[in-house]
A and B are shown apart, each in its own frame.
Chain A
Amino acid sequence: RKEVEQDPGPFNVPEGATVAFNCTYSNSASQSFFWYRQDCRKEPKLLMSVYSSGNEDGRFTAQLNRASQYISLLIRDSKLSDSATYLCVVNRGSSASKIIFGSGTRLSIRP
């Protein structure tokens, strides 16, 4: 079983829809959580951090549930430009060896 698991998708939704992804992690020592965005054939870029209290950045909302060991990303009023792969990242410490990437969820927004 992978330490960080994501539904690979693809999620194919119409423009303007709301879409949500989950990511589960197995190591309870995980300390911090992030969502990265990766456009096709490009490098990953940080989208947002995920805090215990939940956090929002415009149309994007991230939630953390430590008891059930999952994080979520909600995208409201989706745009064509939201089409990308979303990577869940879990840190168990400051060392690079403790940063674990999920394999990503692919999102495709159709007009």
Chain B
Amino acid sequence: DAKTTQPPSMDCAEGRAANLPCNHSTISGNEYVYWYRQIHSQGPQYIIHGLKNNETNEMASLIITEDRKSSTLILPHATLRDTAVYYCIVRVTSGNTGKLIFGQGTTLQVKP
């Protein structure tokens, strides 16, 4: 019952920007969009999250549409080490806690 839809796979040339889309058309007003990535059976790594404003950190930028029904994760200069499965997650919250509902994610292959 994932609340997000992502393309199963994408390729990106090394050094170019990787733009990973995500649809979350049923998102509620107080639900955050989170992005994680997982490199070959390691634990998922937190990338970024946001509510409605665009966010940027040292790893990536998150662009959320005005209606909040979709978002895009941008890796500005992809490297081979960015090859991973990227998960877009809507965090379901209850009080101060929340669970992460993972979909199938997007497998990003960065090519030299």
The answer to whether A binds B is no
Contact surface of A with B, Cβ cutoff 8 Å: none
